[in-house]
Structure 1
């Protein structure tokens, strides 16, 4: 699971910005929201439009894109324009099999780009890369590389060559991350990082979706109609009338499309990144968060929103809430728990009283 990550010189983030998922001493919601290892099962970023909430999520999305997609990433799109050093620094910390993984990526602007990678397990160096040369330090399967593409990570190359298979920690780390999903609710786009996405097929997911509806007393039932080999889907509501899914609103159709992804991360683990989450109704958004945290063992949900409805909804702790600010010196965050609110204190009211920042400048 993700322990923490930090970004510097990345998009709107000029100075170091760190997200911490180690739980604090709060007792509220400790059973559903905190894993057995003391790691939080998610966090929420709140702030006005244009403050950099999505960029904080992109710090994780970029890692997933570089590790699991064949798309060539143009690093020029990720440098902070106000950073004179023109250096991107990304640190990721994970806990896997009781081992601490630290993965550091640094990209210096140039032609070609200067890319450096360092991978540590319990502070011991296992992999390093400087520009186009790299080495994987292992007694079982050591690797040296001399011609690494500037647009490809050395760790990805090792993963594709199955070098990590003998190492249970690194193998489980990559498998867990590959179950991750990115969802942009506003643009209604879903990015999967799995090798095989057959399990996300809507036809195979219908029984799970209907179980989710029934468990949460949602009066919807999805059914499948097969007309001479042409498959279509219908949605029945409490009036009993089954309408073709194509006749439903965009939001309902997208919800049905998102649920297989959502339920997959709950079952398999990984990161579920939900951008522009405020487009879901607050009551349904509350349900999605509480159900995820109550049923997921290794998954983590990462949310950005402009809505304050979830700050005092009883589904997230103060150490899971971050106010995102941009006061002219780049994006920075403040964790609500740093202000030490009481467990039952009204966090939404504190937010509007500007205790945490992250308010639009009107």
Structure 2
């Protein structure tokens, strides 16, 4: 039965509104090696780790961009015993969308249960402190709706353990404000200890726009996410009817099809690819992740990243068919130690008031030999402005 819901004064088909792709988790056989890769090679900042009783090493590592506690988490693969798609190559631990309120998270939990979808968990996450509901999509990708991500400030320290919440704690609305929790913890424990802050072992030797940093580029955000699915129509219905995304366009390529979905003005946040396109997008056979987009600060930074990563021994390629990344022009690809393909780019096509993408025939064709600089007409779409300092 179709319902309509009032979400912050908007009438929607879901009782929540996904506002952005906030973070992603990847299942890794060697999460420590992958943590090192994202930290040292790409510049994600270490923020926390999951320690399980009786284990000598963390079972998961959290890294962030900007002030969000985590943007990308590398989670030990042995924790995927209850994930229905892991045996089929669904090594994406979670695709996480931010909503506006805690109430929306609770409403999402009830909405998915009413639709007979498999809920994995509902409660509060630690580390990160975000309230979350997790549901599995038709292929077994874990999709999260969350609210209230911890913010890491100028001193780069995350919350101390005294502010963690038990993961099985279900919200009892209304919950106290964050500052109320801090004051209550101080009343109980006295002065709280400083939270975790990582070491910075790499030298600050690159001049990036007037700031000395550790590499000649900086990550602005993650996304879009491209995934390989078994039934394109079924997956599209899930992400449009249950998650609330909007179709931007469909692409046919060498007998296969892909559909691109958005939630704001970016051309797409999710790309759904038929399994037959695996070779065309050069996805590693170990995973159903087609690519994770990582936006850099400029075209100059993108070119510098290709050169710097190649010099450090990483295989970087730029010949993925342009038709299979609509809305993104210049892009470079490499893999993390777990086989997950990363798509480095700068800027993505924006969808305006008409709700229609630029016709494919009107998109510029990327020259395989990238020029040193682009003319303004060659790079039509703005790159996200980083809110805080680069380093």
Tell me the TM-score range normalised by the shorter chain.
under 0.3
Q: Which of structures 1 and 2 has the larger relative contact order (alpha carbons within 8 angstroms, sep 6+)?
A: 1
Using the size of structure 1 for normalisation, the TM-score is 0.26
Choose between structure 1 and 2: higher helix proportion.
Answer: 1
Using the size of structure 2 for normalisation, the TM-score is 0.25
